[in-house]
Chain A
Amino acid sequence: MRAQMKIVVIDLLAERARMITAALADAGFPDVVALGETDNLLDRLAQIDPDAVLIDLAAPSRDMLEQMFELSRRIKRPVAMFVDESDSASITAAVEAGVGAYVVNGLHRERIKPVLDLAISRFNAFSRLNTELETTKAALAERKLVDRAKGILMKMKGIDEEEAYKVLRRTAMNQNRKIGDIAQSIVTAAEILN
């Protein structure tokens, strides 16, 4: 076995792949190749000949990878899914986080475990980050929409900003809809009528 562990990261999200690659380098695993979904994934893997493969579970190529390992398992060397089949806690944590790990060259458990733990924590951190980002983006978009609707109301009804907001809020309450929805309707109507 080589002294330096060679790891391939297959991730649909380039940003997350960069994050994991950097984190692995910091943790003492500099030999990492990040691959996206490509046509010649299996050829690339054969060239790189990694000791371990981390894969985004959202990647459709996972079933191809399983076939490749199924074949290599029978030809030459053992391939294990995840770290250790008996370690159900870490398998569960990995699947929940959305990352799979294949140990290709019969690496020892203690050598790959930190790699998987790191991948799990980065996947989890990334999805938390993304959820927050999505929430912030949605809130910002709604605020812009409400501002536009207020402007339209102010112009058409000759009212001030506070009054315009009250109209929006009252309509939303009466119709049991969200303020954002009402604002969208006003903006759409104004676009059509203009």
Chain B
Amino acid sequence: MSTRVRIGFIPLVDCAPLVALHELGFAREEGLEIVLSRETSWSNVRDKLAVRLYDASHLLAPMALATNLGLGGPRADIVAPYVLNLNGDVICASVQLLDRMAGDGLDAGLSGAEAMLEAIRRNALDRPAVIGVPFFFSTHHYLVRYWLASAGIDPDRQVRVEVIPPSLMAEAVRSGVIDGFCVGEPWGSVAVDAGLAAITLPGQAVWAAAPEKVLGLRRDWVEERRDDLHRLLRALYRASVWVADPGNRTILSELLAGERYVDAPAEVIERALSGSLTLTPRGAQARIDRFMVFHTASATFPWRSQALWFYEQMVRWGHLSATPEAAAIARETFAPGLYREALCAVATDLPGANSKLEGALDSPTPAASRRGKLFLGPDRFCDSAVFDPDKVA
């Protein structure tokens, strides 16, 4: 008799570990039966997790914090013991916006990202550019704000941010609702293929190791069903290893392409898995290293410093008032203790610390760990700032 675990997800390439967990039998090996439900909005995913219609869910990392802080919907007590992926977002500009810049005699040598920034700076549309993000409390929203601010643009005055569901981003460009956007793949590539937009910057150019989605669970479920949690995380760990294996990309992209999951062409999904992106409707190509990271010894570990970085961004932009209590709630949302507890026997290695400096590394660097085999990946910010979690008030 297997235990049923109901999981909600949004159609995006980074739901891959959850799909593999179910489809490749990793959950079954641990005696779990996964019931995956595709959702139309992040708000639904959050609420169904809160009211126990789901046991676990695909969740935007900042959304887990926001829910615990009572921002947005009803307050709930969510824990994130596992990071599903690092990176995987793209920043895009509409073809109209880029054409306008070219028409204005912009230096042709400028990159798409520079042209996009310049268009916003010069007020090329004679109004603030409208940038779409998939959810208010999203990695995307905070990456876009960080990027714009680091380029001297005030994201509250010089652009307008609009929330658009990921799969509707291309349509919003077509109907002129937005001039650019930041979204998780495959929805950026879908807009490029439709001839509507160009990818101007991969998300990791803003933060080289941004925790994108987490596995979210209710704290009471985790307390009552500790053994099931361990089994779930063990199975998920194996699923992540499988998903990250380049040899499995073709079958994985076919699987995700199905209408039950992402419902987009397999070839487009494979671009995100391989990091070989088509940037423009004219077909310019780029090979992006670490475009979407599903597994390394430290990538799925829920670092408390990552949660605190989002907390600091929320405070920075006035989305939250800084208090020691709020900082503690944010810190406790990421649960490295549960990760260690569940994966001590399975993971190749485990970090020694719960927190680290964010933004200090340019290349893979050895770190203190249980077996001495752990490397931390590059995690630079676009402005080269280093975030010290101990300095959060």
Residue pair B43, A63 in contact (C-beta under 8 Å): yes
Provide the bound-state CA to CA distance between A61 and B44, in Å: 11
Residue pair A100, B40 in contact (C-beta under 8 Å): no
Point out the residue from B48, B73, B167, B175 that lies within 8 Å of A39, measured CB to CB. Answer: B175
By a CB distance below 8 angstroms, the chain A residues around B162 are 64, 67
* B window 149-193: CB within 8 A of A: 161-165, 167-168, 175, 177
Provide the bound-state CA to CA distance between A189 and B326, in Å: 68
Residue pair A92, B52 in contact (C-beta under 8 Å): yes
Is residue B246 within 8 Å, beta carbon to beta carbon, of the partner chain?
no
By a CB distance below 8 angstroms, the chain B residues around A61 are 41, 165
By a CB distance below 8 angstroms, the chain A residues around B135 are 63, 66-67
Point out the residue from A62, A74, A81, A95 that lies within 8 Å of B41, measured CB to CB. Answer: A62
By a CB distance below 8 angstroms, the chain A residues around B48 are 95
Is residue B202 within 8 Å, beta carbon to beta carbon, of the partner chain?
no
Provide the bound-state CA to CA distance between A59 and B39, in Å: 10
Residue pair A63, B73 in contact (C-beta under 8 Å): no
Residue pair A63, B52 in contact (C-beta under 8 Å): no
Residue pair A96, B51 in contact (C-beta under 8 Å): yes
User: Please, which residue of chain A has its CB at the minimum distance from the CB of B138?
Assistant: A63
Residue pair A74, B51 in contact (C-beta under 8 Å): no
Is residue B136 within 8 Å, beta carbon to beta carbon, of the partner chain?
yes
By a CB distance below 8 angstroms, the chain B residues around A60 are 40-41, 165, 167-168
Residue pair A70, B177 in contact (C-beta under 8 Å): no
Provide the bound-state CA to CA distance between A95 and B162, in Å: 25
Provide the bound-state CA to CA distance between A88 and B51, in Å: 8
Point out the residue from A59, A67, A74, A88 that lies within 8 Å of B40, measured CB to CB. Answer: A59
Is residue B72 within 8 Å, beta carbon to beta carbon, of the partner chain?
yes
Is residue A57 within 8 Å, beta carbon to beta carbon, of the partner chain?
yes
Residue pair B75, A85 in contact (C-beta under 8 Å): yes
Point out the residue from B44, B161, B165, B177 that lies within 8 Å of A57, measured CB to CB. Answer: B44
Residue with the greatest number of chain B CB neighbours at <10 A, chosen from A39, A61, A67? A67
Residue pair B163, A63 in contact (C-beta under 8 Å): yes
Is residue A58 within 8 Å, beta carbon to beta carbon, of the partner chain?
yes
By a CB distance below 8 angstroms, the chain A residues around B51 are 88, 91-92, 95-96
Interface of chain B: mostly helix, strand, loop or mixed: loop
If A63-B163, A70-B136, A96-B51 touch, whether A81 touches B74 (CB-CB below 8 Å) is yes
By a CB distance below 8 angstroms, the chain A residues around B50 are 91
By a CB distance below 8 angstroms, the chain B residues around A165 are none
By a CB distance below 8 angstroms, the chain B residues around A81 are 72-74
Is residue A82 within 8 Å, beta carbon to beta carbon, of the partner chain?
yes
Residue pair B175, A66 in contact (C-beta under 8 Å): no
Classify chain B's interface size: 20 to 34
Could you mark each residue 114-140 of chain B with 1 if its beta carbon is under 8 Å from any beta carbon of chain A, else 0?
000000000000000000001110000
By a CB distance below 8 angstroms, the chain A residues around B44 are 57, 62, 95
Provide the bound-state CA to CA distance between A61 and B162, in Å: 11
Could you mark each residue 62-75 of chain B with 1 if its beta carbon is under 8 Å from any beta carbon of chain A, else 0?
00000000111111
Residue pair B136, A58 in contact (C-beta under 8 Å): no
Residue pair A70, B72 in contact (C-beta under 8 Å): yes
Residue pair A82, B74 in contact (C-beta under 8 Å): yes
Residue pair A63, B134 in contact (C-beta under 8 Å): yes
Could you mark each residue 24-57 of chain B with 1 if its beta carbon is under 8 Å from any beta carbon of chain A, else 0?
0000000000000000111110011011110000
By a CB distance below 8 angstroms, the chain A residues around B175 are 39
Could you mark each residue 74-105 of chain A with 1 if its beta carbon is under 8 Å from any beta carbon of chain B, else 0?
10000001100100100110011000100000
Provide the bound-state CA to CA distance between A57 and B39, in Å: 9
Residue pair A67, B75 in contact (C-beta under 8 Å): no
User: Please, which residue of chain A has its CB at the minimum distance from the CB of B75?
Assistant: A85
By a CB distance below 8 angstroms, the chain B residues around A67 are 135-136, 161-163
B177 to chain A, nearest CB (A): 7
Provide the bound-state CA to CA distance between A96 and B71, in Å: 22
If A39-B175, A39-B177, A63-B165 touch, whether A100 touches B43 (CB-CB below 8 Å) is yes
Residue pair A66, B72 in contact (C-beta under 8 Å): yes
B310 to chain A, nearest CB (A): 16
Is residue B103 within 8 Å, beta carbon to beta carbon, of the partner chain?
no
Provide the bound-state CA to CA distance between A59 and B50, in Å: 19
User: Please, which residue of chain A has its CB at the minimum distance from the CB of B44?
Assistant: A57
If A58-B40, A63-B43, A95-B47 touch, whether A85 touches B74 (CB-CB below 8 Å) is yes
Provide the bound-state CA to CA distance between A70 and B134, in Å: 14
* 9 A-B contacts (beta carbon < 8 Å): A60-B40, A62-B41, A63-B135, A63-B136, A64-B163, A64-B165, A67-B163, A91-B51, A100-B43
A residues neighboring B (CB under 8 Å): 39, 57-64, 66-67, 70, 74, 81-82, 85, 88, 91-92, 95-96, 100
Known: A62-B41, A62-B44. 11 other contacts (CB 8 A): A57-B40, A59-B40, A60-B40, A62-B40, A64-B164, A70-B72, A70-B136, A92-B52, A95-B47, A95-B53, A96-B53
Q: Considering the complex of A and B, which 6 residue pairs feature the smallest CB-CB distances, nearest first?
A: A67-B163, A62-B41, A60-B165, A92-B51, A67-B136, A63-B41
